[in-house]
């Protein structure tokens, strides 16, 4: 793969840059409850040297009933200061599943106007499989200010997605598994209807990844989107269960050179419980 410190970097790239003074590494591991994994405990047991733990559920909008919605600017800035992450840093974010939740944090930094952030391709599993070192020591933190310029166009709410679904001026692309998209499988969160946003296309995030959880090439990803009937000439809104894996689609689009994208932060956790918006079932 070609390393790009604004989207995706390889384990080889990280080995070469591990001692750079302005590198900051984030462990953004996150799992659904049924995975039976504790991301923070795993981080405390073993993480890439110098990595800080980015808690997706805590660094969120605590005023919202929806899971891990994007935090207010002030909260994001204060958490980053406390983590010693700020202006002038090159950030690399990874997770313990290979590529699951790290892309969400990549998107969140983009939303806050930060450009120099990349996802570690293959994440911690690939890093460890290749025999690279981990540690269990917390990093030494020094405060660092971060200048935030919120990018409104990179996020969408239920009203905007509803309008896009009706007007068909955007393509909504759903990253959930195909059986959840069709409405054949129950949602992992209670109280949600089954199905998908009318007019949406199904691109399960796993179809953009190799078996080792590294991302397919931009050309291969383009083929996947096109095979799913996604009109790449239109702006795209990515969606999923709760706004985490949608960001994997967003990362793939950015690497493909498709920059007219936004992410539906509430995703199915919001749409599936909203009584006034329609739900479609079956194939797209």
DSSP per-residue codes, the chain: ---BTTTEE-HHHHHHHTT-TTEEEEE-----GGG---HHHHHHH-EETTPEE--TTTSS-TT-SSTTPPPPHHHHHHHHHHHT--TT-EEEEE-TTSSSSHHHHHHHHHHTT---EEEETTHHHHHHHTT--EE-SPPP-----------GGGEE-HHHHHHHHHH-SSEEEE-S-HHHHHT-S--SSTT---SB-TT-EE--GGGGB-TTSPBPPHHHHHHHHHHTT--TTS-EEEE-SSSSTHHHHHHHHHHTT---EEEESSHHHHHTT-TTS--B-S--
pLDDT for the residue 153: 98
Helix 102-111 to helix 246-255 angle, to the nearest 10 degrees? 70
The residue length of the chain stands at 284
Q: How far apart are CA 93 and CA 88, in angstroms?
A: 16
The Cβ-side half-sphere exposure at 199, using a 13 Å CA radius, reads 18
Top-level class of domain 153-271: alpha beta
Nearest to 7, CA basis, from 96, 109, 148, 129: 109
pLDDT for the residue 1: 66
Identical fold at 8-150 and 153-271? yes
Give average pLDDT by consecutive 10-residue segment, the chain, 284 residues.
93 98 97 92 98 98 96 97 97 98 98 98 98 96 94 97 96 98 92 95 98 98 98 98 97 98 98 93 88
pLDDT for the residue 32: 86
Tell me the torsion sign for CA atoms 74, 259, 180, 101. Answer: negative
CATH hierarchy code of domain 8-150: 3.40.250.10
Q: Which residues are designated catalytic?
A: 240
The Cβ-side half-sphere exposure at 45, using a 13 Å CA radius, reads 8
Q: CA geometry: angle at 119 spanning 118 and 120, to 5°?
A: 120
**Residue ranges of domains in the chain:** 8-150, 153-271
């Amino acid at each position: 793969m070609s390393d790009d410190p604004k989207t995706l970097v390889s384990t080889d790239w990280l080995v070469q840059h591990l001692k750079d003074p302005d590198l900051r590494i984030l462990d953004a591991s996150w799992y659904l409850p049924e995975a039976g994994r504790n991301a923070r405990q795993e981080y405390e047991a073993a993480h890439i040297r110098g990595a800080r733990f980015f808690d997706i559920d805590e660094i969120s909008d605590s005023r919202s009933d929806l899971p891990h919605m994007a935090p207010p600017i002030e909260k994001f800035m204060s958490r980053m200061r406390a983590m010693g992450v700020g202006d002038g840093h090159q950030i690399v974010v990874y997770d313990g599943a290979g590529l699951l939740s790290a892309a969400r944090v990549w998107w969140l930094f983009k939303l806050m106007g930060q450009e120099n952030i990349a996802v570690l391709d293959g994440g911690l599993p690939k890093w460890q499989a290749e025999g690279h070192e981990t540690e269990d020591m917390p990093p030494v933190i020094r405060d660092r200010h971060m200048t935030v310029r919120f990018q409104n166009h990179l996020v969408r709410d239920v009203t905007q997605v509803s309008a896009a679904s009706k007007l068909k001026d955007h393509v909504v692309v759903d990253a959930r598994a195909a059986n959840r998209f069709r409405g054949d499988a129950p949602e992992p969160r209670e109280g949600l209807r089954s199905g998908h946003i009318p007019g949406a296309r199904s691109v399960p995030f796993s179809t953009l990844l190799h078996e080792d959880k590294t991302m397919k090439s931009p050309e291969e990803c383009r083929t996947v989107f096109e095979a799913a009937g996604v009109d790449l000439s239109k702006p795209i809104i990515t969606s999923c269960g709760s706004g985490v894996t949608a960001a994997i689609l967003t990362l793939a689009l950015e690497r493909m050179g498709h920059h007219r994208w936004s992410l539906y932060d509430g995703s199915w956790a919001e749409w599936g419980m909203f009584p006034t918006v329609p739900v479609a079932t079956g194939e797209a």
